[in-house]
A and B are shown apart, each in its own frame.
With several copies, the nearest count.
Chain A
Amino acid sequence: MIKKVLIANRGEIAIRVIRALKSMGIKSVAVYSHADKDGLWLKIADEAICIGPATVSESYLNITNIISAALYSHCDAIHPGVGFLSESAEFVKAVEESGLIFIGPNKDTINLLGNKVEARILAKKAGLDVTPGSFKEIESVSELKTLANKLGYPIILKASLGGGGKGMRVITNDADLEKNFNLAKEEANKFFANPAIHVEKFLTHPRHIEIQLLSDGENVIFLGERDCSVQKNHQKLIEESPSNIVSQKMRNKLKRASIKLFKLLKYQGAGTIEFLLEDNNCYFMEVNARVQVEHPVSEFVSSIDIIKEMILISDNNSSQNMRENPILRNHSMEVRINALSCGTITKFTPPLGPSVRVDTHIYSGYKVSPFYDSMLAKIIVYTKNRQESIKTMLSCLSELELEGIKTNKEVIIKILNNNKFVSGNFDTSLYKEIEKDL
């Protein structure tokens, strides 16, 4: 039985996990870099261990120090949070080999899903639509040309072991094929130590939709979709569930096939399947084999605590909640408040009351350092429907006081008031379209 967990992360997600552990009666060990010695997560945890200097590669990505800290503080398990080592097969392997439980999928799942071509093949097998394109490595320019003409431009080249936008190239005509083919292979090799690339039809005006699942290896439950189409340079700013563009028919289809995919994977833990939706077709992109920043919206609509269920699943003690799909109710929306400058937060008053949740690591007097992610707080509301969520979020933002540094609060307010956003008729290019007015 898991009695003590090290959280291999920082900031709000570390606090999120520690709070879950506390309410389950499990001890928690926080870790921190030298730059984070005033982190709120250190105060809330039962213990805190410094694992390195400010530089991420020497602290939050330092596998040896993190596992040592877990072992020597007598932890049974490690929760990776989001980002950092959460999808590192190397880390999962090291955790497992040191006799600790990794709270997340096992290394084989992570390895398999890390290969985007393999993931495409499996998704198709499960009955999901995948973007038209190749299901194996592209070996030559001529092979690419044949495919390109079959698919029609624009197309996108992707590193097969890639992720996070790196090593991707959009091509709009025959003339650019050869140059981009070579460059993409080079980049794939550089970033992911493997030159394999594949090609997909490029969608120009998609919605970003994702499906939240929880699986204990046998039972898979569906926690609905999230719409994350409001993005600035691929950084999500606003997420919501349900999506106004997903019909009940499409939702049922996605649910059936997504559950099937996770059953094929014998998936363990929380996972998200990402899709791009265009012209009423929802195309599989990839699986994020970890919990995501925007998980709270799914927690609200499903009344399921994803972090707690992850912990129970990893402890082979999955709860009654895993026996049947939860009823999804009402509407939830999250906005991310990001720092646009560094410095000390002189005043912080979060919105409180019904239908709002604030996940944050900041406080009055907290210093925002340049070393880490700029996200300061997530504000999540839960109301009857999308229009009420928008109004409630605006009301919450009017109560939010965050002074001392520049933030994107006003930009978020403008998006929430934007006619296109309010109408629900928009796509991932919304931010770019309205950027000049923000």
Chain B
Amino acid sequence: MENLDIDKILDRFENSSICELEITYKDFQIKCKKNTTISQEITKEIVKTKKEEITTSEIKDEKIKTITSPIVGTFYRAPAPDANVYVEPNQEIKKGQPICIIEAMKMMNELESEFNCKIIEVLANSGQLVEYGQPLFKVELI
């Protein structure tokens, strides 16, 4: 046991794959430990992030809804060119309240809200062709 050189032991430990080392000799004791498994930690972090995302979107799903077009047609925000728009962002609306018109086959189809909500964003432009399932409004349930 003549090679009890601390520097040497630490070098040795550093370059080895050993992650924990403890040497006790008489009144001398050395304990060392490496911060192992970086890759594992990263993996964990990714998993965590994913979970968080899911949680967030779950929370969102509960409150934030997208109202999509049930038919193909031209989207109008107002009942007539010179009339006021049905809804504005930040406006609170009631279930059954008309929110826009979709013109199809020369028929004006008034689209009504299916729930009480607040308009967050209008996602289509007035006069624009909208297809089936196209997002029209982003709303928050109230």
> Is any CB of A less than 8 Å from a CB of B in the complex?
yes
Determine the distance from Cα of A73 to Cα of B74 in the docked complex, in whole angstroms.
10
Contact with B along A61-81 (1 / 0, CB 8 A): 000111111011100000000
Minimum Cβ distance to chain B for residue A64 (Å): 5
A-B contact pairs, 22 of them (CB 8 A): A34-B133, A49-B129, A50-B131, A50-B132, A50-B134, A51-B72, A52-B132, A53-B132, A53-B133, A64-B71, A64-B104, A64-B105, A65-B72, A65-B104, A67-B105, A68-B73, A69-B72, A69-B129, A72-B72, A72-B73, A72-B74, A72-B129
- The 3 A-B residue pairs with the shortest CB-CB distance in the complex, in nearest-first order: A72-B129, A68-B104, A50-B131
Is there an interface contact between B131 and A51, defined as CB atoms closer than 8 Å?
Answer: yes
Residues of B within 8 A of A52 (CB): 132
Residue of A nearest to B109 (CB): A64
Contact with A along B70-83 (1 / 0, CB 8 A): 01111000000000
Is there an interface contact between B105 and A51, defined as CB atoms closer than 8 Å?
Answer: no
Residues of A within 8 A of B134 (CB): 50
Contact with B along A109-137 (1 / 0, CB 8 A): 00000000000000000000000000000
Known: A49-B72, A65-B71, A72-B72. A59 touches B129 (CB 8 A): no
Residue of B nearest to A48 (CB): B131
Determine the distance from Cα of A65 to Cα of B133 in the docked complex, in whole angstroms.
12
Residues of B within 8 A of A59 (CB): 132
Within 8 A of A (CB), among B97-129: 104-105, 129
Residues of A within 8 A of B104 (CB): 64-65, 68
Hey, which bits of chain A sit against chain B, CB under 8 A?
34, 49-53, 59, 64-69, 71-73, 94, 98
Minimum Cβ distance to chain B for residue A32 (Å): 9
Known: A64-B105, A67-B105, A68-B105. A34 touches B132 (CB 8 A): yes
Minimum Cβ distance to chain A for residue B37 (Å): 33
Residues of B within 8 A of A67 (CB): 105
Is there an interface contact between B71 and A68, defined as CB atoms closer than 8 Å?
Answer: yes
Is there an interface contact between A51 and B132, defined as CB atoms closer than 8 Å?
Answer: yes
Is there an interface contact between B72 and A68, defined as CB atoms closer than 8 Å?
Answer: yes
Hey, which bits of chain B sit against chain A, CB under 8 A?
71-74, 104-105, 129, 131-134
Residue of B nearest to A58 (CB): B132
Known: A67-B105, A68-B104. A73 touches B133 (CB 8 A): no
Determine the distance from Cα of A53 to Cα of B129 in the docked complex, in whole angstroms.
18
Residues of A within 8 A of B129 (CB): 49, 69, 72-73
Minimum Cβ distance to chain A for residue B70 (Å): 9
Is there an interface contact between B74 and A65, defined as CB atoms closer than 8 Å?
Answer: no
Residues of A within 8 A of B133 (CB): 34, 50, 53
Determine the distance from Cα of A53 to Cα of B69 in the docked complex, in whole angstroms.
11
Residues of A within 8 A of B73 (CB): 68, 72
A49-B132, A65-B72, A71-B105 known; 17 new pairs, CB 8 Å cut-off, are A34-B133, A49-B72, A50-B72, A50-B134, A52-B132, A53-B132, A64-B71, A64-B72, A64-B104, A65-B71, A65-B132, A66-B72, A68-B72, A68-B73, A68-B104, A68-B105, A94-B105
Determine the distance from Cα of A267 to Cα of B38 in the docked complex, in whole angstroms.
74
Minimum Cβ distance to chain A for residue B140 (Å): 25
Among B104, B129, B131, B134, the most chain A Cβ lie within 10 Å of the Cβ of B131
Determine the distance from Cα of A65 to Cα of B72 in the docked complex, in whole angstroms.
5
Is there an interface contact between B105 and A98, defined as CB atoms closer than 8 Å?
Answer: yes
Residue of B nearest to A73 (CB): B129
Determine the distance from Cα of A59 to Cα of B129 in the docked complex, in whole angstroms.
17
Residues of A within 8 A of B74 (CB): 72
Minimum Cβ distance to chain A for residue B91 (Å): 27
Residues of A within 8 A of B105 (CB): 64, 67-68, 71, 94, 98
Residues of B within 8 A of A71 (CB): 105
Minimum Cβ distance to chain B for residue A74 (Å): 9
Determine the distance from Cα of A68 to Cα of B72 in the docked complex, in whole angstroms.
6
Minimum Cβ distance to chain A for residue B107 (Å): 8
Determine the distance from Cα of A50 to Cα of B104 in the docked complex, in whole angstroms.
14
Residue of A nearest to B134 (CB): A50
Residue of B nearest to A52 (CB): B132
